[in-house]
Each structure stands twice: as structure tokens, then as C-alpha cells.
Amino acid sequence: MSLRVNEIFYSIQGESTYAGRPCVFVRLTACNLRCRWCDTEYAFYEGETLTVEQVLEQVRAHKCPLVEITGGEPLLQEDVHPLIDRLLAEGYEVLIETGGSLDVGGLYPRVVKILDLNAPGSGMEHRNNLDNLRYVDRKDQIKFVVADRRDYEWAKGMMAEHALAEKVQVLFSPVFGELHPRELGEWILADRLPARLQIQLHKYLWDPDQRGV
């Protein structure tokens, strides 16, 4: 069992309802999407092959109970499932962040799924797998990355159409450097939208272009 791994690092979780917590990130190589504003293009091809045991050894070394598996697109690699299995068995709290095009139905129910629904501004709207909405529950999170007012209106429409706020936690995240978080916050307040504004906290704590944070 092996995985193509781009990087493993220990940092402050910058997104989701877990923002602010120390977390170990396992970033897997490769992605099947090409979001216009992607900030991890270096994960498309770069990486080394590690066994699941080697990944676990690196995770354990950080002595942190929270682990996020991300990418790239982590669900492209079958052996992500045995990795998750082992992490859960060892008592870790496990998050997985996925771009929303691949089926999440096969994931262990205890994993917290952070699932993107790609707005028009990403250029990947046509890749959303809406069947995934059958597999999310209250611990899971749907993330809309919003570049402009058109994306915001689209996300609001998806929330209403699929009654998202009733079954899952909804995150709205402005595209860094394109939409000011305050503007997005003001839209959410004006509409009394039951969504959580999130910023990419790590980009404010460290250099926004820095890897491994």
C-alpha cells in the first residue's frame, strides 16, 4: 500500500470549522480539476511515493491528534482508504478535503468531509458531483469559494435548492486577493445567510505563497 505524497506538515488549520487548531496536513499529489484560482498547483505533479506506514510514521512524529488529508485531490488514490482506516484506528480525528467531483460515498462515516461545490468563477462548475450531497451530515462541511457576486448568488441558490444549511455546515470563502472578506461578510449579513464566513487563516499568519503552512 503506497501513496504519492506532495508534503506532510504541521501547521495551524486555516479553514473549516476547525480553523485555528493545530493540525497535521497530508497533501497527496495530483488533481483531476484545474480551478482558476488554485493555490496548490505545485501538488499536481510533485511528490514522492511513501508506504502507508511511512506516512503514519511522519504523522505520529508531530504528536497532534488532528489530521487533514488534502491535495490536490486525495480521492484519486485508492490507498487513501487504508490510510484513513489506520489513522482512525489510532484515535486521530480525521478530516478530508476534496474538490467535489469524485464520489465520497465510500469514505468511512467517521471521517469529516470538507467538500467543495465549485462556483462558476472556478471554471469547474460542470465537474460538481451533486450525488455527493446524499453522503454528508452535520459534522461535514460544504465549502463555496467565492470570487465575485455572481459566485455568491450561485452559492446562495445552491444552498436553497438543496436545503444545505439543514443538513451540513456551510462555509463561504473569498478568493484570496480577489474578493475582500469584509465584502463577502456584508453580503452574508444582508441576506441573513446561515453560512460561516471563513478566511484562509494561514495566509494571514504566514506569507500567502509559502508552502507547508
Say whether residue 31 binds ligand SF4 (CB under 6 A). Answer: yes
Say whether residue 73 binds ligand SF4 (CB under 6 A). Answer: yes
CB of 99 vs ligand SF4, minimal distance in Å: 3
* Burial class of 135 by CB neighbour count within 10 A (0 to 12, 13 to 18, 19+): middle
Q: Which residue in 9, 17, 40, 206 binds ligand SF4 (CB under 6 A)?
A: 40
Instruction: List the beta strands (DSSP E) in the chain.
Output: 2-12, 22-28, 48-51, 66-70, 93-98, 112-116, 141-146, 169-174, 196-197
CB of 44 vs ligand SF4, minimal distance in Å: 7
Say whether residue 99 binds ligand SF4 (CB under 6 A). Answer: yes
CB of 35 vs ligand SF4, minimal distance in Å: 3
Rank residues 56 and 124 by Cβ distance to ligand SF4 and give the closer one.
Answer: 124
What is the three-class DSSP state of 51?
A: strand
Dihedral sign for Cα atoms in the order 209, 173, 13, 33: negative
Q: Which stretch binds ligand SF4 (CB under 6 A): 31-39, 132-140, 177-185, 194-202?
A: 31-39
Nearest of 203, 114, 192, 105 to residue 156 by alpha carbon? 192
Say whether residue 80 binds ligand SF4 (CB under 6 A). Answer: no
Give the position of cell 449579513.
189
Say whether residue 33 binds ligand SF4 (CB under 6 A). Answer: yes
Say whether residue 72 binds ligand SF4 (CB under 6 A). Answer: yes
Contact 40, 15 (CB under 8 A): no
Cell numbers for 149: 457576486
The amino acid at residue 109 is P
Say whether residue 15 binds ligand SF4 (CB under 6 A). Answer: no
* Burial class of 109 by CB neighbour count within 10 A (0 to 12, 13 to 18, 19+): exposed
Rank residues 53 and 103 by Cβ distance to ligand SF4 and give the closer one.
Answer: 103
CB of 115 vs ligand SF4, minimal distance in Å: 11
Rank residues 115 and 158 by Cβ distance to ligand SF4 and give the closer one.
Answer: 115
Residues that bind ligand SF4 (CB under 6 A): 31, 33-35, 38, 40, 71-73, 99
